[in-house]
């Protein structure tokens, strides 16, 4: 039942989609070959395979922007911010999922509106808040601030997940004498684990990839800068070495892509859930 007028449009659509895919691949290819070339080689033949392999770009880029300590800084901030987010969001989501009064509805509404307030809107006052809290230059501020940016999505997504858990299961646990906390830890958290994983992945990406707030908050303390802030330092120095830059980019991308390889399905579902719900 393949009519010809279907296939012409389809052929065209296929060509357009693959052309776009090519546009996505070419930069990645360019990065890969550039990362093992010198500037001279990159300029002479941007797309050719390297004639001599400059693997030294990797250690050199790593040392130049102190990627080791940047990775540690990023991991610390992301990890602790993630813990704070989940500690706040899980009980909140549980409470809202099971609340039936007006109060719960109003609070959920406030969180839902939060989707529409980009963090950047309050960039300057947030920096002033950090100064007022005497946490300017201190990664602790980012650990406290990032969870707030993630709260609307985390609470709403988790509440939706918890709603799908039959309340009877909780009630049974409570009849057996389990307190609220125990019910949460023993019943809700295990049953909502896929939802928690989704939220954790989304937050990981958001926190790990954040640039502007990290740049500004940690400005007085360059030794604590995160990976995202460290990478562009490779070019702000007068002479840009493109081979070094490409190596630096690949090393910055590595942790996220590694995680993607490990958790491909979960990560795709997380990003799709985060957008669709």
Partner 1 sequence: MFRKKMTVSVSTLVPDQAIDEVPPPPRSGKPRRREGSAFLAVPALVWYLVFMIGPLAAMFVISLLNWPSIIAPGTWAGLGNFQRLFNDPTFWHAFGNTMLQLVIVLPLMIPLAFMAGYYLSLRPRGHRILSVLFFTPGLISVSTKAMMFFGILSPRGALNGLLQALGLDHLATAWLADPATALGCIIAVDLWSGIGYTAVLFSARLSSISGETYEAAKLDGATQWRIMWQIAFPIVKDFVGVTTMLQFLWTLFNSATIVLLLTKGGPGDASITLSYFVYDKAFISSQVGYSQAAGVVVFIVGLIGMILIRRLIRARD
Q: Say how far apart CA 89 and CA 155 lie, in whole Å.
A: 5
Residue 71 Cβ vs partner 1, minimum distance, rounded to whole Å: 14
Which one of 100, 223, 238, 239 is in contact with partner 1 (CB under 8 A)? Answer: 100
Nearer to partner 1, 72 or 135 (CB): 135
Residue 3 Cβ vs partner 1, minimum distance, rounded to whole Å: 8
Which one of 66, 119, 137, 200 is in contact with partner 1 (CB under 8 A)? Answer: 119
Q: Say how far apart CA 62 and CA 56 lie, in whole Å.
A: 10
Residue 154 Cβ vs partner 1, minimum distance, rounded to whole Å: 8
Which one of 83, 122, 185, 193 is in contact with partner 1 (CB under 8 A)? Answer: 122
Scan residues 28-47 and list those touching partner 1 (CB under 8 A).
30-31, 34, 42-43, 45-47
Nearer to partner 1, 53 or 277 (CB): 277
Scan residues 198-257 and list those touching partner 1 (CB under 8 A).
205, 208-212, 216, 228-229, 231-232, 234-235, 240, 242, 245-246, 248-249, 252-253, 256-257
Nearest to 194 by CA among 259, 265, 144: 265
Q: Is 197 in the site for partner 1 (CB under 8 A)?
A: no
Which one of 4, 52, 101, 265 is in contact with partner 1 (CB under 8 A)? Answer: 101
Count the site residues for partner 1 by CB under 8 A.
Answer: 107
Scan residues 57-86 and list those touching partner 1 (CB under 8 A).
none
Nearer to partner 1, 25 or 193 (CB): 25
- Give the number of residues written for the chain: 277
Residue 258 Cβ vs partner 1, minimum distance, rounded to whole Å: 11
């Amino acid at each position: 039942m393949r009519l010809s007028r279907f296939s012409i449009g389809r052929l065209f659509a296929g060509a357009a989609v693959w052309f776009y895919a090519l546009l996505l691949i070419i930069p990645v290819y360019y990065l890969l070959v550039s990362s093992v070339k010198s500037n001279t080689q990159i300029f002479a033949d941007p797309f050719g395979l390297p004639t001599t392999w400059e693997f030294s770009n990797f250690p050199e880029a790593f040392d130049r922007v102190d990627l080791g300590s940047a990775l540690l800084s990023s991991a610390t901030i992301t990890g602790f911010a993630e813990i704070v987010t989940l500690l706040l969001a899980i009980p909140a989501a549980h409470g809202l999922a099971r609340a039936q009064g007006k109060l719960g509805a109003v609070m959920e509404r406030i969180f839902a509106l939060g989707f529409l307030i980009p963090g950047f809107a309050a960039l300057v006052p947030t920096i002033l808040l950090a100064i007022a809290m005497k946490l300017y230059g201190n990664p602790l501020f980012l650990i406290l601030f990032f969870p707030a940016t993630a709260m609307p999505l985390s609470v709403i997504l988790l509440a939706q997940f918890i709603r799908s858990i039959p309340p009877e299961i909780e009630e049974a646990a409570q009849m057996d004498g389990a307190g609220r906390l125990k019910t949460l830890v023993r019943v809700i958290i295990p049953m909502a684990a896929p939802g928690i994983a989704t939220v954790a992945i989304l937050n990981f990406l958001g926190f790990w990839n954040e640039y502007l707030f990290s740049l500004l908050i940690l400005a007085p303390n360059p030794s604590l800068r995160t990976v995202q802030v460290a990478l562009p330092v490779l070019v702000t120095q007068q002479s840009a070495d493109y081979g070094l830059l490409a190596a630096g980019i690949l090393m910055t991308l590595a942790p996220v892509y590694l995680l993607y390889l490990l958790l491909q399905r979960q990560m795709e579902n997380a990003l799709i859930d985060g957008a669709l719900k």
